[in-house]
């Protein structure tokens, strides 16, 4: 396995004990991951008891038909098909934040409404041992009774009372699990749409959440000329010679005697009106017909009035009302859309010259499942067929396309995809702006540290303020705590051949990782660990409080400190190995990090996890940032990746370490070697050593230099004179 070979090669480059721990752990723990147990017919029957019946699995598609046993006065009748049951994993294996897809059991009825939704398996960190599975189960229950033709948005359930009829539905999300619920939403709707398109006759085109919407509130009284000026009437005129030219070179050429006799006469005129637009429907139809139409079309349905005038109609002489028109087709973006005849009482208000026996009109409906998009062009094609021969005639067919494009004033364009990550970035635009500004400030501080390091007091104030921002905004508010879970999730997704798009559901994570990657190349691991880790900031504040309370501080012996720092590489090796074994083991292994408990969930968790987080924070009160330095697998991973660092950017003097040891003794992280060299794998870039380096009151070489360069003024000794009364 390439990932395993890469991991072994990476860990083998670590020094001493760390390298042995890493390689040994990987060799012992790598194995085949367990596959999810999927459902069979017997297990499904437990989810759908009588009067529902689970049929045999479809041989072409991994779905089970659902039937309902119908009872009447005469007893039990034949089962009636009511929908399909299926697993989301078979159709939309969208990775969650663990890198493993969430698997949902979905029951969809014949109209595209959800009969039921249940969680079969999930490994979302926030729902495994964080909030627990109950909030997720409650979240998916909200889909029951909703349909895939509705625009389902995660927000607040303000319109729950009318959600069955509403085109836009808001369901309640889960606090501290926004990204995970978005992933669940996409998995559920994507899987349901694929089944609906394959088995329920839904269009193969646009997702219904991404189509434009007719402005149903917009109405203006108009006569027919005004409708034409507004671009709401679409016409096409075909002359005999136009049709004859289309058949040139085919068996249908010169088969129309009328066309040969009078080529400039009208063959037919085709007109299409979009009745959903109130300014069209209410002005063309009578009030009674309009109300009737609005009562028959459901949310997402579309209605068109099609009329022809001339010797050729869009319906043949033997056309049966209620059937699919035999000469008229509708396509959008190259995909066919079915037209269904809809009877409307009364006569529409057509132009005055559109009267007489050669005028034919009908209203056609397009059902919501077709996902027709009113913001995109529609192609109505009138088919003309010619024959040659008597007994076994040869046929030729030509289509003449009328392109309908609704003016933009009459529809709202599709919004960003609420089911995927786009909406999350839009909704959090101000948070993204604040984070980007803070990262830009940090870049300036680290790239040009002279101003901030010129004064110990200024440095302390700036660092304290930034760490407060990291803990409060990045951590507790924006939920931007990077984690080893990001590593394990990526491994599980790549190993399964899945995309890493799921990271895009958390813009804070994406932006922070992008910045961390750049900072690893420039400065090493310490940029994140020292400035951008919320749990690290919390430890630092705990240490400051402990010192203010005069609690004893323990500085480990250099040799002990160095050995303990190798421990985190062993922890990293074990955690990284877990995705190769099983997802449940991975879920448990990543709990070595207290980030989810202390930052993501704010200590609202079961007591073992809270106890572990509190114990680590208590440890940091006596041993400065002890978890970061000795146990953190994320810190170990960043230290390994930070070996690609391009710059040794923290300033050093020749006297550093030989003989001056000031910076080394004052370094809280014990990241400066006795020879004065900075160990960038363990440096947290607090800049304390740079403050000392710049100060002629703290840096011993500068103090000596200042003392040696001090000029002592020499005063001349006064010479005695006679006037002073001294004998010659």
Is the domain of 432 the same as that of 401? no
Q: What is the pLDDT of residue 401?
A: 92
Q: Can you list the positions of beta strands (E) in 367-494?
A: 378-388, 394-404, 411-412
Does 693 have pLDDT greater than 60? yes
Q: Say whether both 403 and 432 belong to one domain.
A: no
What is the structure's pLDDT at 162? 45
86 in the same domain as 229: no
The DSSP result for 46-92, as a single string, is HHS-TTEEE-PPPSSSSEEEEEE--EETTEE---EEEEEEEEGGGT-
* pLDDT attached to residue 16: 46
Q: Is the pLDDT of residue 24 over 70?
A: no
What DSSP assignment string belongs to 577-646?
A: HGGGT-HHHHHHHGGGS-HIIIIISTT-S-HHHHHHHHHHHHHHHHTTTHHHHHT-HHHHHHHHHGGG--
- Among the residue ranges 410-414, 616-620, 656-660, the one predicted with the least confidence is 410-414
pLDDT of residue 40 exceeding 50, the answer is yes
In a domain, 6, yes or no: no
pLDDT of residue 461: 95
pLDDT for the residue 75: 60
| Confidence band, pLDDT 50/70/90 cuts, at residue 29 | very low
Quote the pLDDT of residue 577. Answer: 92
Name the percent of the chain in helix, strand, coil, to the closest 5. 45, 15, 40
pLDDT at 281 over 80: yes
State residue 493's pLDDT score.
80
- Mean pLDDT value of segment 435-443: 96
DSSP 131: S
Q: 31 pLDDT exceeds 50?
A: no
The answer to the question of residue 7 being in a domain is no
Q: So what's the pLDDT on residue 7?
A: 45
Q: What sign does the dihedral 281-284-285-287 (CA atoms) show?
A: positive
- Catalogue the E-assigned strands of 311-463: 328-332, 335-337, 340-342, 359-366, 378-388, 394-404, 411-412
Residue 163: is its pLDDT beyond 60?
no
189-217 mean pLDDT? 74
pLDDT-derived band at 70, boundaries 50, 70, 90: confident
- Under 8 Å between Cβ of 311 and 264: no
Quote the mean pLDDT of the chain: 83
pLDDT, residue 516, reads 95
Q: Which of 75-84, 154-163, 213-222 has the largest mean confidence? A: 213-222
* Range of lowest pLDDT (4-8, 129-133, 470-474): 4-8
The answer as to whether 13 is a domain residue is no
How would residue 415 be classed by pLDDT, with cut points 50, 70 and 90?
Answer: low
Final residue belonging to a domain, choices 412, 436, 455: 412
Give me the pLDDT at residue 201, please. 67
Output 51 or 27, whichever has higher pLDDT. Answer: 51
Domain shared by 177 and 324, yes or no: no
Examine residue 163 and state whether it is found in any structural domain, yes or no.
yes
* In a shared domain, residues 97 and 120: yes
Q: Flag whether pLDDT at 204 surpasses 80.
A: no
pLDDT tens-digit readout, 339-393: 878 888 888 999 988 888 889 899 998 877 567 889 889 999 998 988 887 777 8
Q: 510-549 pLDDT, tens per residue?
A: 999 999 999 999 999 999 999 999 999 999 999 999 999 9
- Tell me which of 180, 210, 240 is where a domain ends: 210
On the question of pLDDT at 23 being above 60, the answer is no
Confidence at 713, pLDDT banded by 50, 70, 90: low
Asked whether residue 357 falls in the same domain as residue 497, the answer is no
Q: How many domains does the chain have?
A: 3
Residue 435's pLDDT band, with cuts at 50, 70 and 90, is: very high
Q: Where are the alpha helices (DSSP H) in 166-323?
A: 178-199, 224-229, 240-246, 257-261, 278-284, 287-296
Reported as a pLDDT band with limits 50, 70 and 90, residue 570 is very high
Q: At a CB cut-off of 8 Å and minimum separation 6, what does 88 contact? A: 101, 102, 103, 104, 105, 106, 187, 188, 190, 191
pLDDT the model gives residue 391: 75
- Give the pLDDT band (50/70/90) at residue 722: low
Note the pLDDT tens digit of each residue in 307-351.
999 999 888 777 766 666 778 888 887 767 778 788 888 889 999
Mean pLDDT of 710-727: 62
Range of the domain at 476: 428-706
Residue where a domain terminates, one of 176, 195, 210: 210
Q: From CA 592, how far away is CA 584, in angstroms rounded? A: 14
Residue 35 has pLDDT above 60, yes or no: no
In this structure, are 186 and 232 located in the same domain?
no
Q: What is the pLDDT of residue 76?
A: 62
Share of the chain above pLDDT 90, in %: 41
Residues 382, 433 within the same domain: no
Does 185 fall in a domain?
A: yes
Q: What is the pLDDT of residues 596-635, one digit of tens each?
A: 889 988 888 888 889 999 999 999 999 999 999 999 999 9
- Between 8-17, 291-300, 363-372, the lowest mean confidence (pLDDT) is in 8-17
Among 126, 634, 409, 399, CA closest to 134: 126
Of 208-212, 260-264, 304-308, 586-590, the one with minimum mean pLDDT is: 208-212
Mark whether 374 and 462 lie in a shared domain: no
> Do 555 and 486 share a domain, yes or no?
yes
36-43: average pLDDT = 69
CA distance 147 to 299: 11
* Predicted local confidence at residue 2, as pLDDT: 44
pLDDT greater than 60 at residue 129? yes
Give 156 or 594, the one with higher predicted confidence.
594
Query: Does pLDDT of 433 surpass 90?
Result: yes
What mean pLDDT do residues 72-101 have? Answer: 78
Mean pLDDT of 246-268: 89
Average pLDDT over residues 582-588: 83
**458 and 550 co-located in one domain:** yes
pLDDT of residue 560 exceeding 80, the answer is: yes
Does a structural domain hold residue 22? no
Residue 10 lies in a domain: no
d(CA 209, CA 570) in angstroms, rounded, equals 47
- Check residue 325 and give its pLDDT: 76
Looking at the domain assignment, is residue 553 inside a domain?
yes
- Between CA 9 and CA 30 the distance in angstroms is 15
User: How buried is residue 35: exposed, middle or buried, by Cβ count under 10 Å (0-12/13-18/19+)?
Assistant: exposed
Identify the pLDDT of residue 714. Answer: 64
Task: Say if residue 12's pLDDT is above 70.
Answer: no
pLDDT > 90? residue 638: yes
Answer yes or no: do 183 and 228 share one domain.
no
């Amino acid at each position: 396995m390439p990932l395993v070979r890469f991991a072994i090669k990476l860990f083998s480059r670590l020094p001493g004990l760390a390298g042995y721990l890493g390689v040994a752990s990987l060799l012992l723990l790598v194995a085949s991951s367990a596959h999810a147990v999927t459902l069979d017919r017997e297990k499904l029957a437990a989810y759908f008891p009588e009067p529902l019946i689970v049929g045999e699995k479809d041989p072409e598609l991994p779905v089970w038909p659902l039937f309902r046993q119908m009872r009447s006065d005469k007893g039990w009748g034949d089962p009636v098909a009511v929908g399909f049951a299926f697993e989301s994993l078979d159709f939309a294996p969208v990775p969650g934040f663990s890198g493993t897809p969430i698997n949902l059991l979905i029951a969809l009825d014949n109209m595209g409404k959800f009969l039921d939704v249940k969680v079969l398996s999930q490994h979302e960190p926030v729902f495994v041992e964080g909030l627990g599975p109950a909030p997720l189960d409650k979240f998916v229950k909200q889909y029951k009774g909703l349909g895939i033709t509705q625009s389902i948005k995660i927000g607040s359930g303000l319109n729950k009372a009318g959600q069955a009829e509403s085109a836009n539905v808001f369901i309640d999300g889960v606090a501290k699990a926004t990204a995970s619920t978005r992933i669940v939403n996409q998995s559920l709707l994507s899987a349901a749409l694929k089944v609906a398109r394959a088995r329920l006759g839904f269009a193969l085109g646009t997702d219904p959440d991404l189509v434009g919407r007719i402005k149903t509130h917009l109405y203006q009284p108009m006569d027919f000329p005004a409708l034409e000026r507004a671009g709401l009437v679409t016409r096409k005129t075909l002359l005999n010679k136009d049709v004859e030219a289309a058949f040139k070179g085919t068996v249908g050429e010169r088969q129309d005697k009328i066309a040969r006799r009078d080529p400039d006469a009208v063959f037919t005129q085709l007109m299409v009106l979009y009745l959903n637009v109130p300014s069209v429907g209410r002005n063309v139809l009578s009030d009674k017909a309009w109300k009737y139409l609005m009562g028959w079309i459901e949310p997402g349905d579309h209605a068109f009035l099609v009329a022809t005038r001339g010797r050729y109609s869009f319906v043949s002489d033997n056309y049966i009302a209620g059937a699919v028109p035999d000469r008229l087709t509708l396509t959008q973006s190259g995909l066919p859309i079915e037209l269904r005849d809809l009877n409307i009482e009364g006569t529409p208000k057509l132009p005055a010259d559109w009267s007489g026996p050669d005028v034919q009109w009908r209203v056609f409906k397009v059902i919501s499942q077709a996902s027709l998009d009113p913001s995109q062009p529609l192609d109505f094609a009138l088919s003309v067929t010619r024959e040659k021969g008597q007994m076994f005639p040869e046929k030729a067919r030509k289509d003449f396309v009328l392109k309908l494009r609704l003016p933009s004033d009459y529809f709202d364009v599709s919004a960003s995809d609420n089911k995927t990550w786009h909406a999350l970035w839009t909704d959090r635009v101000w948070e993204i702006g604040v984070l980007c500004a803070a990262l830009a400030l940090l870049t300036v501080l680290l790239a040009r540290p002279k101003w901030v390091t010129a004064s110990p007091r200024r440095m302390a104030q700036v660092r304290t303020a930034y760490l407060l921002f990291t803990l409060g905004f990045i951590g507790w508010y924006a939920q931007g705590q990077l984690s080893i879970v990001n590593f394990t999730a990526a491994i599980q997704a790549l190993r399964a051949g899945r995309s890493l798009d799921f990271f895009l559901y958390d813009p804070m994570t994406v932006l922070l990782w992008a910045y961390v990657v750049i900072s690893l190349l420039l400065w090493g691991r310490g940029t994140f660990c020292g400035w951008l880790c919320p749990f690290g900031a919390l430890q630092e504040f705990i240490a400051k409080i402990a010192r203010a309370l005069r609690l004893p501080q323990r500085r480990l012996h250099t040799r002990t400190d160095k050995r303990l720092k190798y421990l985190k590489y062993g922890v990293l090796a074990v955690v990284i190995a877990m995705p190769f074994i099983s997802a449940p083991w991975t879920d448990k292994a990543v709990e070595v990090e207290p980030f989810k408990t202390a930052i993501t969930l704010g200590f609202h968790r079961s007591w073992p996890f809270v106890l572990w987080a509190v114990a680590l924070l208590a440890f940091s009160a006596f041993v400065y940032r002890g978890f970061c330095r000795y146990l953190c697998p994320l810190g170990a991973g960043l230290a390994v990746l930070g070996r690609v660092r391009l710059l040794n950017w923290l300033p050093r003097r020749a006297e550093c370490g030989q003989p001056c040891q000031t910076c080394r003794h004052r370094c809280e992280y014990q990241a400066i070697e006795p020879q004065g060299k900075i160990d960038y794998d363990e440096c947290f870039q607090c800049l304390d050593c740079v403050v000392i380096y710049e100060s002629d009151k703290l840096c011993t070489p500068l103090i000596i230099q200042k003392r040696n360069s001090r000029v002592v003024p020499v005063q001349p000794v006064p010479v005695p004179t006679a006037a002073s009364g001294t004998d010659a």
